[in-house]
Structure 1
Amino acid sequence: MSADIIAVQEVKTKKDLKAFLHFPWRIYRGDPNWVPPLLKEYAFHFSLRNPFLHHAQIVPYVAIKDGSIKGRIAAIIDRNYIDFHHEETGFFGFFESVNDPSVTHALLDQVKGFLRNRDLKTVMGPVNPSTNDECGLLIDGFDSSPCFMMPYNPHYYQGLLEGCGLKKAKDLYANSMYTDNGLPDRIRRIGRHAVARIPGLTIRPINIKRLDEEVILVKEVYDGAWRNNWGFVPLTDEEMDLMVNRLKSLLVPDLVLFASIGNKTVGFAMALPDYNSVIKRLNGRLGPLGLLKFLYYSRRINTVRVMLLGVKAEYRKRGIEAILYTELFLRGLALGYTRGELSWILEDNPLMQKGIDALGGKRYKTYRIFQSRL
């Protein structure tokens, strides 16, 4: 193969998939902020047991140049996204590449051709493999590791994608806050006033012993609170069950909260410890020794990530969001956590960002979703 020829090959065999999954170790060698993914968990994205694939297609590719893999990508078609948004949009994800524009061009050309041949009109990404998972390209905030279930990439990726004609579709923000100074008095007052104004409002932690019933409430609030958000895709019952089953052993009940008025559940918030600080030590493998490390170092985690916080549309602007933030803050503080990340927040969600600013949060990372017409 000539040095300037790039062959883009579909990943079809177990051997190919192993090479696809291990490629990031070449890109991030020596990068102290990279968190190696758990290989078994990551491989599940491409397994037929993944319920996402019951309504979607993921086709992974690698780019070969000079006899070795120089990049990877996947073409993604999510029929639930298309049906929900009535948009002929496909996606790319799982993108990694050496700093070589020709490799990125070859990979994206392959994805665009695949989507175009299936009558799609727009490509968006990166998503791994949807907005319900890791999504976005880090474009600002490279000086620290990502929080749990947030992406990370080299700084040069933005230039590679823009060099292929991709434009900004939406920016997503990650905010950081520290508990050193406690909860601002203003937020305490807002919380107290909100409780006084809403008769029957209660905040309670998740009941792990009744998890099946709690999951029904989570899905109800999720669909009601997020469905009008940009990029939202409703989770199927199978996907919600899988997410809960994979996270239930990681949950801290006092950091998973429901807001109710009378017998109606109107809001939900979930924060998880930043397990990335532990996963980084495992180098992609959670064997018996890795499990012991995980259990040992999990006790030293001092950061939580607020992953979800939403209130049904008809109950917004009453201060319920502030109450949920306040409760998470105080409960996290009581458990010994000293820092929180609140992510991700859409750039055009001023109500949520205003609440975070009032808590003392500061935007410290920006992730971008790109798009291009096909």
Structure 2
Amino acid sequence: MSTAALRVVPVQTSGDLRRFVDLPWRLYAGDPCWVPPLKKQVRGALDKKHPFYADGAADREIFLAWRGTRVAGRIAAITNRAHNAYHNDKWGFFGFFECEDDPEAAAALVEAAAAWVKARGCDTLVGPMSPSTNYEAGLLVHGFDTPPSVMMTYNPPRYAELLEAMGLVKAKDLFAYASPVHPKSLERLEKFADRTRRREPDLFIRSVNLKEFSNEVQIIREIYNRAWEKNWGFIPVSEAEFAWLAKDLKPLVDPPLLRIGFIANEPAGFLLAIPDANPALAALNGSMANPIRLLRAMLIGRRRVGLRLITMGVKPPASDHLLRCPSAARVLT
């Protein structure tokens, strides 16, 4: 670790914002499991014009840790007023955390984030949230030997140690499950789905209609906000923010993989799976501006290597098995 003086300062210039966004490319150099994000999307999530921050619902400050003339780490401090109003608490959040193997720099970054949210009335610091549970959330603590699926977090093993050394403790376990698809499993699932459809004649499930995408998004948003209302960390997603999220996901949407369920013609549940775009994303190396990388990514993207089940939900009082099983069968067959 360098002995150069350490300082943590807010990002105030376009040059420092570029350094903030670009830092992971140096920290993860040579790591075969890291998938570079699109820099445009990172900047978008930090831009206060993003609907996440609209109407004072949230605010943020981003910091760089400097060791002399070298950037050693970064962090975002986030206040989410919508979260605190919904859950009646005083949480502040941190996200976009990246750091060299430098405990002093990591501590200084967390302290800066904690001080910033405390000054705005928060009594607890929670993270990583980049910037909320509707985006990348959590810290990877197991599974460092495989690349993440699309929209899944990834970080070096040392991050848990750096953050726990600051006194941070686990708030919640977040699990990701990987499973191969076996033909016999699909047969059993389809049989169960058929029985469910016969037992529930008012149940109707269809694929999303991309020609009516805006209307479909509103249907899914209404289901999502009802289905997830009691989940840990959830806050209702505004119409503008949900539209923003949907716009980002639309290029990855394959209609048979986005299913909406109705009971007596009333929206009741949905399931969204998307092809795992991370192999193609890795080829882009953070930008779609390079035509050679773009062509390579398009060729890689034609080879479907797996699916990621992004989210699903069933509105109360519909039971989970009523819609999940038929939807999953239709997606996978």
**What TM-score, normalized by structure 1, do the two folds share?**
0.85
Question: Which of 69, 74, 77 matches 2:76?
Answer: 74
Describe the superposition over 1:62-111 as per-residue Cα deviations: whole angstroms up to 9, x where unpaired: 11113311111010011111111111001000000111211111001111
Q: Residue in 2 aligned with 1:10?
A: 10
What's the secondary structure of 1:81's corresponding residue? helix
- The residue number in structure 2 matching 1:320 is 323
Q: What does 1:179-258 correspond to in 2, within 5 Å?
A: 179-258=181-260
CA 1:33–1:318 in 2, change beyond 3 Å: closer, same or farther? closer
Q: Is the 8 A contact 2:136 2:153 kept in 1?
A: yes
| Structure 1 range deviating more: 14-23 or 79-88 | 79-88
Aligned partner letter, 1:139 = V
Structure 2 CA distance for aligned equivalents of residues 228 and 215 of structure 1: 21
CA offset digits 1:166-203 (Å, max 9, x no partner): 01110111111112444255433432222222121111
The question of whether the paired residues in 1 share the 8 Å contact of 2:139 and 2:153 is answered with yes
Q: Please give the alpha-carbon distance, in whole angstroms, between the structure 2 residues aligned to 1:174 and 1:21.
A: 26
C-alpha RMSD over aligned residues: 1.5
What are the ranges of 5 or more consecutive residues in structure 2 without an aligned counterpart? none
Aligned ranges for residues 105-124 of structure 1 at < 5 Å?
105-124=107-126
Shift of 1:241: 1.1
Tell me which protein shows more strand as a share of its residues: 1
In 2, Cα distance between the equivalents of 1:45 and 1:320?
A: 33
2:152 counterpart letter in structure 1: M
Partner SS for 2:32: coil
Is 1:301 the counterpart of 2:265 in the alignment? no
Determine if contact 1:137/1:152 at 8 Å carries over to the other structure: yes
Give 1:231 shift: 0.7
Partner SS for 1:314 = coil
Q: How far has the Cα of 1:318 moved from its partner?
A: 4.4
Structure 1 unaligned blocks of 5 or more: 331-374
Per-residue CA deviation, residues 116-163 of structure 1 (Å, 9 max, x unaligned), is 111211110001101000111000001111111111000111111111
1: CA distance between counterparts of 2:62 and 2:283? 27
**1:96: which partner in 2?**
98
Identity of aligned residues (%): 36
Match of 1:339 in 2: none
CA distance in 2, matches of 1:48, 1:111: 17
Give the alignment's TM-score, normalised by structure 2: 0.95
Paired AA for residue 237 in structure 1: E
Structure possessing the higher relative contact order (Cα contacts under 8 Å, 6 or more residues apart): 1
